[in-house]
Copies of this chain bind each other. A is one copy, B any other.
Amino acid sequence: MAKTLAVSPLAPAAFPQLPVIGGVEFAVAEAGVRYAGRTDVMLARLVPGSTVAGVFTRSATRSAPVLDCQDKLGGDQSPGAAIIVNSGNSNAFTGRNGVEATQAVTSAVADVLDLPDARVFSSSTGVIGEPLRHDRITAKLDELTASLSPDGIADAARAIMTTDTFPKGSAASVDLPGGRVQIAGIAKGSGMIAPDMATMLVYIFTDAQIGFDALQQMVSEISDATFNCITVDSDTSTSDTLLMAATGASGVQVEPGDDAFRAALHKVMLDLAHQVVRDGEGATKFVEINVTGAESDADARTHALAIANSPLVKTAIAGEDPNWGRIVMAIGKSGAAADRDLLTIRFGDVLVAENGWVSPDYREDQGAAIMKQSEISINVGLGLGQGAATVWTCDLTHGYISINADYRS
């Protein structure tokens, strides 16, 4: 049973007003997969012609639903599609039983919605290694189908939560030559994987009309700059899944490479990614790390992730300690190119270190003032080239230890 956790201090003030996306309907149910007294299954039905693209965990031990989704991407979109998600059990590392459970759920959804199996995508999130009670999900399919509604997306955002302390949603609209299109997305994740619990799941819907190849490419590219640039604890879920569906209900065509649509989708995905970090387990600080002047973008990302994942950097931030020595350490260990004596380090706008040493103008109280804020930027210049990267993370606190050490047994 998931403990009720206090809402993250970094949570947005409220769940946003999400627009209705033509061509999608949602329903939720209390199936009792693991939790009692809350919704734990969500169903989304997509009209015929909807394209579905996806991005998934790269884990070598990924779950049966993830493998099933990957198999199904790019299939015939004429009959429509559905997405079924449960929380409470991840159906990961469940052997042959896991494959059977995924088949049982997706086939039953296909039957009740009159779709081919190949157009039913599923996700599961929750405890690893326990058999998924798929009968509890299929028992609710008639109820779910009967209650499908175009404005159920906020309820869907709640049904997929596990250790999340707030539901996550984001939306954008774009005026294209053919008319206005809408994008709305929901996500769950406390920024980590886990057993008892977590995993990141993201579902994004648009009424724009986009071919599969163009949608898949756009989603893959933007994921690299958003969801693949956040880290809470460096651990990778066996179940991470992002699915994006374009229903075409607006009748407005998006061409591959349309900049306005891409920018709007980027905004939605970045907002959802940031919300996942803001719900990082035990998080009290939202941290942006910018690395510039690296030999390559890949090197910049390696340095940025080394800083973001360093337990010593993360605990210093938790302690509001402007401990720039730990930034130097993280850069040194990352494995990417760096020259100690060319480094510059800024907390916010405050120049802390340069020329291989603390800046002569820096005063510790300046750094300490930055560290007291709830949103912090750490800016590193390497002085070697043009490579740049930005990643987002949170601090490492007693709350993280409490959630993950004091939890299960």
Interface residues of chain A, those whose CB is within 8 Å of chain B, are: 57-62, 92-98, 127-130, 192-196, 233-238, 309-312, 315-316, 318-326, 328-334, 337-341, 343, 353, 355-358, 364, 368, 371, 395-398, 400-402, 404-409
The answer to whether A97 and B319 touch (CB under 8 A), given A61-B328, A61-B340, is: no
Contact status B341-A409, CB under 8 Å:
no
Is A195 in contact with B326, judged by CB distance below 8 angstroms?
yes
Q: With a CB–CB cut-off of 8 A, which chain B residues contact A311?
A: 233-235, 311, 396, 400, 404
- Name the one of B196, B234, B341 contacting A95, with C-beta atoms under 8 angstroms: B341
A93-B328 in contact (CB<8A): yes
Question: In the bound complex, do residue B60 and residue A329 qualify as a contact, i.e. CB atoms below 8 Å apart?
Answer: no
A196 partner residues in chain B, CB cutoff 8 A: 323
Distance between A367 CB and nearest chain B CB, rounded to angstroms: 9
Cα A92 to Cα B353 with chains together (Å): 13
> In chain B, what residue has the closest Cβ to A234?
B311
Among candidates B319, B325, B340, residue contacting A407 with C-beta atoms closer than 8 Å? B319
Q: Which residue of chain B has its CB nearest to the CB of A318?
A: B405
Q: Of residues A57, A329, A339, which shows the largest number of chain B Cβ atoms within 10 Å of its Cβ?
A: A329
A95 to B94, CA, bound (A): 55
Instruction: Report how far A128 CA is from B312 CA in the complex, Å.
Output: 13
A406's nearest neighbour on chain B, judged by CB, is B319
Contact of A401 with B404 at beta-carbon distance under 8 Å, contacts A312-B193, A325-B128 already known: no
A395 to B406 CA separation, bound complex (whole angstroms): 13
Query: DSSP class of A's interface residues: helix, strand, loop or mixed?
Result: loop
19 contacts between A and B (CB under 8 A): A61-B331, A93-B357, A95-B355, A96-B357, A98-B357, A127-B325, A129-B353, A194-B325, A195-B316, A196-B323, A235-B311, A235-B329, A235-B330, A311-B404, A315-B405, A316-B404, A316-B405, A319-B407, A396-B401
Chain B residues with Cβ below 8 Å from A340 are: 60-62, 93
Considering the complex of A and B, which 9 residue pairs feature the smallest CB-CB distances, nearest first? A128-B325, A61-B332, A95-B357, A59-B332, A236-B333, A319-B405, A315-B404, A195-B325, A95-B356
Partner of A322, one of B309, B320, B325, B409: B409
CB distance from A335 to the nearest CB of B (A): 8
- Copies assembled: 2
A319-B408 contact given A129-B328, A353-B129, CB 8 Å threshold = yes
Distance (whole angstroms) from the CB of A306 to the closest CB of chain B = 9
Residue of A234, A311, A395 ringed by the most chain B CB atoms within 10 A: A311
Q: In the complex the two chains form, is B332's CB within 8 Å of A236's CB?
A: yes
CA distance A318 to B397 in the complex (A): 15
Which single member of B93, B236, B312, B408 contacts A235 (CB below 8 Å)?
B312
Q: Which residues of B contact A62 (CB under 8 A)?
A: 332, 340
B329 and A59 within 8 A (CB): yes
Instruction: Say yes or no: B192 contacts A325, CB within 8 Å.
Output: no
Residues of B within 8 A of A235 (CB): 310-312, 326, 329-330, 333
Question: Inside 8 A of A400's CB, which chain B residues have their CB?
Answer: 311, 315, 401
A93 partner residues in chain B, CB cutoff 8 A: 325, 328, 340, 353, 356-358
Chain B residues in 8 Å Cβ range of A237: 329
Q: Does A409 lie within 8 Å of B368, measured CB to CB?
A: yes
Asked whether, in the complex, the Cβ of B234 is within 8 Å of the Cβ of A325, the reply is no
- Taking A93-B358, A129-B324, A235-B329 as given, write out 5 further A-B residue pairs in contact, using a Cβ cutoff of 8 Å, ordered by the A residue number: A60-B338, A129-B325, A129-B328, A315-B400, A398-B402
Given contacts A60-B340, A332-B62, A397-B401, contact A321 B355 (CB under 8 A): no
CB distance from A88 to the nearest CB of B (A): 14
Cβ–Cβ contact A398 & B396, under 8 A: no
Contact across chains for B128 and A328 when beta carbons are under 8 A apart: yes
